[in-house]
Amino acid sequence: MYSDPARFCPQDGSPLVEVGGGSPAPETSVGLRTLVRQAALKRGPGMDRASSLSNSLLDSRYDVGKRLGEGGMSYVYLAKDLTSSETVAIKVLTPKLKEDKSSVERLRREAGLAMRLDHPNVCRIFRLGETEDGLIYLVMPYLAGELLSDREVRQGALPLDFGVPLLVQMARGLQHAHELQIIHRDLKPENVMLVPDEQGPGGVRAVVMDFGLAKERRQEPEVAKLTATGIVLGTPEFMSPEQIRGKPLDPRSDIYALAIVGFEMFTGQLPFQGRNAQEMMIARLRGKPKLLREVKQDLPGRLEQVLNKAMALDPGDRYTTMTAFVEALEGAEESGVFARLFRKQ
């Protein structure tokens, strides 16, 4: 389904390192990288069970195959559900982190939220399970396809007639989540899968995944406590200023992140620069984003205006809903270039 990579630790912003052989990816790359924190490389005996589930039977129900990837909080496996013969992806919480009550609560929250999602542009969760020996896992659809981040590395800046419809699909999926009072909180190219779809742009459809940092707008007190520890959750390159400051979030935070995703899709660069997680955050709080046409002059001026509004420092200056963002993107059509494409979405 996905390799759950990230460029910075979603819990504390620490730089991540590549696992496995081969040449390291360029610093500017956002490609397929199975990354974990350096500390996670020093695995003790307690890590063996979660990291070696391949070719085993999980919970007397799932025939576990190859490991698809790993992140700082989980391992992801390909599996077959023996009760339905369906191919699924299973995300297993690392034993070390399952001892952290906040991590377990966040995973349970992920399942509870994502089970309510039902939209072609978001990935739902089928089930939250726990084995007799204490492994906690999530069962999700297996999505055969390519991460948006990998497509960007392979292809570079994406053409508008391909990228804009994908951006619209992501926005519509997120609008569905927002209508259920769910904020994604960690939108980035690594969390978007491009799956085969004959009706989609370039024969693919964008699916927003990994609502692991998702947060209900109407929080219960115990949920609010999870982010009251001073830990900033999210990925520095795409976090909104209010998320960095630990302020209450609403759909406009996801709009901000999606605009940065769009900027990177169309230019191959990020609108903010920094040598580390802290500089990335400071740039978001103090600086202004690059203008789209500073990086790529042949892009439409109206598209630049739309993304710039979506990335406004003050949430009150952004679009209020993903639907409004989509309408603005549709209005960015110049000389009829996008009109035909939008009618198909």
pLDDT tens for residues 21-54? 443 333 333 333 233 333 333 333 344 678 889 9
Domain boundaries, the chain: 39-141, 146-344
DSSP-based three-state secondary structure for 182: strand
Render pLDDT for 96-152 as a digit per residue (tens, 0 to 9): 766 777 767 777 776 787 888 999 999 988 998 988 888 889 899 999 999 999 999
Query: Where would I find the H helices in 52-140?
Result: 95-98, 101-114
Give every CB contact of residue 226 below 8 A, 6+ residues apart in sequence: 102, 105, 106, 109
At the top level of CATH, the class of 146-344 is mainly alpha
Q: Which amino acids are annotated catalytic? A: 186
DSSP-based three-state secondary structure for 260: helix
Contact between 272 and 280 under an 8 Å Cβ cutoff? The reply is yes
At the top level of CATH, the class of 39-141 is alpha beta
pLDDT at 173 over 60: yes
| Predicted structure pTM score | 0.75
Render pLDDT for 187-234 as a digit per residue (tens, 0 to 9): 999 999 999 999 888 999 999 988 755 555 544 443 343 333 333 455
Joined together, the tokens standing for residue 77 give 């496996």
